[in-house]
Structure 1
Protein backbone atom coordinates (compact mmCIF):
# COMPACT_ATOMS: atom_id res chain seq x y z
CA UNK A 1 0.00 0.00 0.00
CA UNK A 2 2.91 2.33 0.73
CA UNK A 3 4.44 1.42 -2.64
CA UNK A 4 1.59 3.19 -4.43
CA UNK A 5 2.18 6.95 -4.37
CA UNK A 6 -0.56 9.43 -5.12
CA UNK A 7 -4.30 8.79 -5.10
CA UNK A 8 -4.15 4.97 -5.02
CA UNK A 9 -1.87 4.90 -2.01
CA UNK A 10 -3.99 7.54 -0.28
CA UNK A 11 -7.17 5.53 -0.88
CA UNK A 12 -5.58 2.35 0.43
CA UNK A 13 -4.15 4.04 3.50
CA UNK A 14 -7.41 5.85 4.27
CA UNK A 15 -9.51 2.69 4.21
CA UNK A 16 -6.98 0.66 6.18
CA UNK A 17 -7.06 3.40 8.82
CA UNK A 18 -10.85 3.04 8.88
CA UNK A 19 -10.40 -0.67 9.60
CA UNK A 20 -7.88 0.02 12.36
CA UNK A 21 -10.27 2.51 13.97
CA UNK A 22 -13.05 -0.07 14.37
CA UNK A 23 -11.87 -1.05 17.84
CA UNK A 24 -9.01 -1.33 20.28
CA UNK A 25 -8.87 -5.07 19.63
CA UNK A 26 -8.08 -4.72 15.91
CA UNK A 27 -4.79 -6.35 14.99
CA UNK A 28 -3.07 -6.00 11.66
CA UNK A 29 -0.99 -8.39 9.64
CA UNK A 30 0.02 -9.14 6.07
CA UNK A 31 -2.01 -11.95 4.53
CA UNK A 32 -0.98 -12.98 1.02
CA UNK A 33 0.86 -9.67 0.82
CA UNK A 34 -2.18 -7.52 1.66
CA UNK A 35 -2.62 -5.40 4.80
CA UNK A 36 -5.31 -7.24 6.75
CA UNK A 37 -7.36 -6.21 9.79
CA UNK A 38 -8.26 -8.88 12.35
CA UNK A 39 -10.22 -9.29 15.55
CA UNK A 40 -7.85 -11.50 17.49
CA UNK A 41 -6.78 -14.10 14.95
CA UNK A 42 -9.88 -13.72 12.78
CA UNK A 43 -9.45 -11.57 9.66
CA UNK A 44 -12.39 -9.36 8.76
CA UNK A 45 -11.08 -7.02 6.04
CA UNK A 46 -8.09 -6.18 3.84
CA UNK A 47 -6.87 -3.55 1.43
CA UNK A 48 -5.23 -4.38 -1.88
CA UNK A 49 -3.65 -1.63 -3.99
CA UNK A 50 -3.28 -2.47 -7.68
CA UNK A 51 -2.14 -0.59 -10.77
CA UNK A 52 -5.44 1.16 -11.49
CA UNK A 53 -7.64 0.51 -8.44
CA UNK A 54 -7.82 -0.38 -4.77
CA UNK A 55 -9.86 -3.26 -3.36
CA UNK A 56 -11.37 -3.00 0.08
CA UNK A 57 -12.18 -6.62 0.78
CA UNK A 58 -14.26 -8.40 3.39
CA UNK A 59 -13.62 -12.01 4.34
CA UNK A 60 -17.31 -12.66 5.14
CA UNK A 61 -18.60 -10.06 2.70
CA UNK A 62 -21.20 -12.36 1.14
CA UNK A 63 -23.02 -12.30 4.48
CA UNK A 64 -23.01 -8.51 4.90
CA UNK A 65 -26.03 -6.35 4.20
CA UNK A 66 -25.15 -4.05 1.29
CA UNK A 67 -28.08 -1.72 0.56
CA UNK A 68 -25.85 0.60 -1.51
CA UNK A 69 -24.77 -2.27 -3.78
CA UNK A 70 -21.03 -1.63 -3.37
CA UNK A 71 -19.85 -5.22 -2.98
CA UNK A 72 -18.49 -7.18 -5.94
CA UNK A 73 -17.48 -10.79 -6.33
CA UNK A 74 -19.01 -14.22 -6.62
CA UNK A 75 -16.96 -16.28 -4.19
CA UNK A 76 -18.50 -18.38 -1.45
CA UNK A 77 -17.76 -15.85 1.30
CA UNK A 78 -15.43 -13.03 0.22
CA UNK A 79 -16.54 -9.79 -1.41
CA UNK A 80 -14.74 -6.54 -2.22
CA UNK A 81 -15.41 -2.94 -3.15
CA UNK A 82 -13.33 -1.67 -6.06
CA UNK A 83 -12.21 1.94 -5.69
CA UNK A 84 -10.77 4.13 -8.42
CA UNK A 85 -9.48 7.65 -7.80
CA UNK A 86 -11.53 9.07 -10.67
CA UNK A 87 -14.82 7.59 -9.39
CA UNK A 88 -16.61 8.92 -6.32
CA UNK A 89 -17.24 6.42 -3.55
CA UNK A 90 -20.09 6.36 -1.08
CA UNK A 91 -17.91 6.87 2.00
CA UNK A 92 -20.79 6.44 4.41
CA UNK A 93 -21.87 3.12 2.87
CA UNK A 94 -18.30 1.77 2.75
CA UNK A 95 -17.66 2.84 6.34
CA UNK A 96 -20.88 1.03 7.34
CA UNK A 97 -19.71 -2.14 5.56
CA UNK A 98 -16.37 -1.93 7.35
CA UNK A 99 -18.03 -1.48 10.74
CA UNK A 100 -20.46 -4.33 10.02
CA UNK A 101 -17.62 -6.66 9.00
CA UNK A 102 -15.78 -5.84 12.21
CA UNK A 103 -18.87 -6.33 14.39
CA UNK A 104 -19.69 -9.62 12.67
CA UNK A 105 -16.20 -11.02 13.16
CA UNK A 106 -16.05 -9.79 16.74
CA UNK A 107 -19.29 -11.64 17.46
CA UNK A 108 -18.01 -14.80 15.73
CA UNK A 109 -14.75 -14.66 17.70
CA UNK A 110 -16.63 -14.20 20.98
CA UNK A 111 -18.91 -17.16 20.29
CA UNK A 112 -15.86 -19.32 19.47
CA UNK A 113 -14.26 -18.30 22.77
CA UNK A 114 -17.41 -19.28 24.68
CA UNK A 115 -17.33 -22.84 23.33
Structure 2
Protein backbone atom coordinates (compact mmCIF):
# COMPACT_ATOMS: atom_id res chain seq x y z
CA UNK A 1 0.00 0.00 0.00
CA UNK A 2 1.25 3.49 -0.84
CA UNK A 3 1.95 6.14 1.75
CA UNK A 4 1.42 8.92 -0.79
CA UNK A 5 -1.70 11.06 -0.89
CA UNK A 6 -2.95 10.60 -4.44
CA UNK A 7 -5.47 12.83 -6.17
CA UNK A 8 -6.40 11.54 -9.64
CA UNK A 9 -8.53 14.68 -10.15
CA UNK A 10 -5.48 17.01 -10.05
CA UNK A 11 -5.15 19.15 -13.18
CA UNK A 12 -2.57 21.51 -14.66
CA UNK A 13 -4.56 24.61 -13.65
CA UNK A 14 -7.61 24.32 -11.42
CA UNK A 15 -10.11 27.19 -11.63
CA UNK A 16 -11.03 26.54 -7.98
CA UNK A 17 -7.45 27.35 -6.98
CA UNK A 18 -7.62 30.62 -8.91
CA UNK A 19 -10.93 31.47 -7.22
CA UNK A 20 -9.39 30.81 -3.80
CA UNK A 21 -6.65 33.37 -4.47
CA UNK A 22 -9.17 35.86 -5.87
CA UNK A 23 -10.80 36.03 -2.42
CA UNK A 24 -7.85 38.17 -1.26
CA UNK A 25 -6.77 38.70 2.39
CA UNK A 26 -3.67 36.76 3.48
CA UNK A 27 -4.18 34.52 0.48
CA UNK A 28 -2.31 37.14 -1.52
CA UNK A 29 0.75 36.51 0.67
CA UNK A 30 0.52 32.79 -0.16
CA UNK A 31 0.09 33.27 -3.90
CA UNK A 32 3.76 33.83 -4.88
CA UNK A 33 4.70 30.69 -2.98
CA UNK A 34 2.03 28.67 -4.75
CA UNK A 35 3.35 30.02 -8.05
CA UNK A 36 6.76 28.66 -7.04
CA UNK A 37 5.13 25.27 -6.33
CA UNK A 38 3.49 25.36 -9.76
CA UNK A 39 6.85 26.09 -11.38
CA UNK A 40 8.70 23.28 -9.58
CA UNK A 41 8.40 20.90 -12.54
CA UNK A 42 6.53 20.22 -15.77
CA UNK A 43 4.48 17.46 -14.11
CA UNK A 44 3.00 19.63 -11.35
CA UNK A 45 -0.78 19.43 -11.10
CA UNK A 46 -3.11 21.10 -8.62
CA UNK A 47 -6.45 20.97 -6.90
CA UNK A 48 -8.24 22.17 -3.81
CA UNK A 49 -7.91 19.76 -0.88
CA UNK A 50 -9.31 20.51 2.58
CA UNK A 51 -9.98 24.10 1.41
CA UNK A 52 -6.30 24.67 0.50
CA UNK A 53 -4.58 24.92 -2.88
CA UNK A 54 -2.54 21.73 -3.17
CA UNK A 55 0.32 21.00 -5.57
CA UNK A 56 1.01 17.47 -6.79
CA UNK A 57 3.71 15.67 -8.74
CA UNK A 58 1.40 14.04 -11.26
CA UNK A 59 -1.31 12.99 -8.77
CA UNK A 60 0.83 12.73 -5.59
CA UNK A 61 0.46 15.71 -3.25
CA UNK A 62 3.74 17.34 -2.26
CA UNK A 63 2.77 20.78 -0.90
CA UNK A 64 -0.06 23.16 -0.11
CA UNK A 65 -0.67 26.72 0.99
CA UNK A 66 -3.18 27.82 3.58
CA UNK A 67 -4.26 31.24 4.81
CA UNK A 68 -5.42 31.80 8.36
CA UNK A 69 -6.34 34.85 10.42
CA UNK A 70 -2.79 35.90 11.31
CA UNK A 71 -0.49 33.74 9.21
CA UNK A 72 0.05 31.72 6.05
CA UNK A 73 1.32 28.14 5.96
CA UNK A 74 3.34 26.55 3.22
CA UNK A 75 2.97 22.87 4.00
CA UNK A 76 4.81 19.80 2.80
CA UNK A 77 3.15 16.39 2.80
CA UNK A 78 6.47 14.57 3.30
CA UNK A 79 8.10 17.45 5.15
CA UNK A 80 9.53 15.29 7.94
CA UNK A 81 11.92 13.79 5.37
CA UNK A 82 13.18 17.11 4.00
CA UNK A 83 16.54 18.68 4.80
CA UNK A 84 15.92 21.89 6.74
CA UNK A 85 19.25 23.50 7.65
CA UNK A 86 17.55 26.87 8.31
CA UNK A 87 15.10 25.29 10.77
CA UNK A 88 11.97 26.67 9.09
CA UNK A 89 9.80 23.57 9.31
CA UNK A 90 7.29 23.26 12.12
CA UNK A 91 5.14 20.35 13.23
CA UNK A 92 5.56 17.08 15.01
CA UNK A 93 3.47 14.71 12.91
CA UNK A 94 4.73 11.52 11.36
CA UNK A 95 5.06 13.03 7.86
CA UNK A 96 3.77 16.57 7.41
CA UNK A 97 5.57 19.82 8.21
CA UNK A 98 4.85 23.46 7.43
CA UNK A 99 6.49 26.86 7.33
CA UNK A 100 4.53 29.66 8.98
CA UNK A 101 4.71 33.15 7.45
CA UNK A 102 3.35 36.22 9.22
CA UNK A 103 2.47 39.58 7.74
CA UNK A 104 5.26 42.10 8.29
CA UNK A 105 7.88 39.48 9.12
CA UNK A 106 10.42 38.75 6.40
CA UNK A 107 10.51 35.22 5.04
CA UNK A 108 13.80 33.39 4.59
CA UNK A 109 13.21 33.23 0.83
CA UNK A 110 16.32 31.25 -0.15
CA UNK A 111 15.63 28.60 2.50
CA UNK A 112 11.94 28.37 1.58
CA UNK A 113 12.77 28.10 -2.11
CA UNK A 114 15.20 25.30 -1.27
CA UNK A 115 12.50 23.49 0.71
CA UNK A 116 10.09 23.73 -2.22
CA UNK A 117 12.72 22.35 -4.62
CA UNK A 118 13.57 19.55 -2.18
CA UNK A 119 9.90 18.68 -1.64
CA UNK A 120 9.29 18.45 -5.38
CA UNK A 121 12.42 16.34 -5.96
CA UNK A 122 11.57 14.06 -3.04
CA UNK A 123 8.03 13.46 -4.30
CA UNK A 124 9.25 12.96 -7.88
CA UNK A 125 11.59 10.26 -6.55
CA UNK A 126 8.77 8.66 -4.54
CA UNK A 127 6.43 8.62 -7.55
CA UNK A 128 9.14 7.14 -9.77
CA UNK A 129 9.85 4.46 -7.14
CA UNK A 130 6.17 3.52 -7.07
CA UNK A 131 5.71 4.28 -3.38
What stretches of structure 2 of length at least 5 have no aligned partner?
1-19
Which residue, out of 54, 67, 78, partners 1:36?
Answer: 54
TM-score, normalization: structure 1? Answer: 0.92
Say how many residue pairs are matched: 111
What stretches of structure 1 of length at least 5 have no aligned partner?
none
Which residue, out of 94, 111, 114, partners 2:129?
Answer: 111
1:23-52 deviations in Å (ceiling 9; x for gaps): 110000111111000001100000001111
Tell me the residue number matched to 2:37. 19
RMSD, aligned α-carbons: 1.2
Tell me the residue number matched to 1:60. 78
Find the aligned partners of 1:25 and 1:11 in 2 and give their Cα distance.
24
Tell me the residue number matched to 1:86. 104
TM-score, normalization: structure 2? Answer: 0.81
Q: Which runs of 4+ in 1 moved over 3 A?
A: none
Find the aligned partners of 2:89 and 2:29 in 1 and give their Cα distance.
17
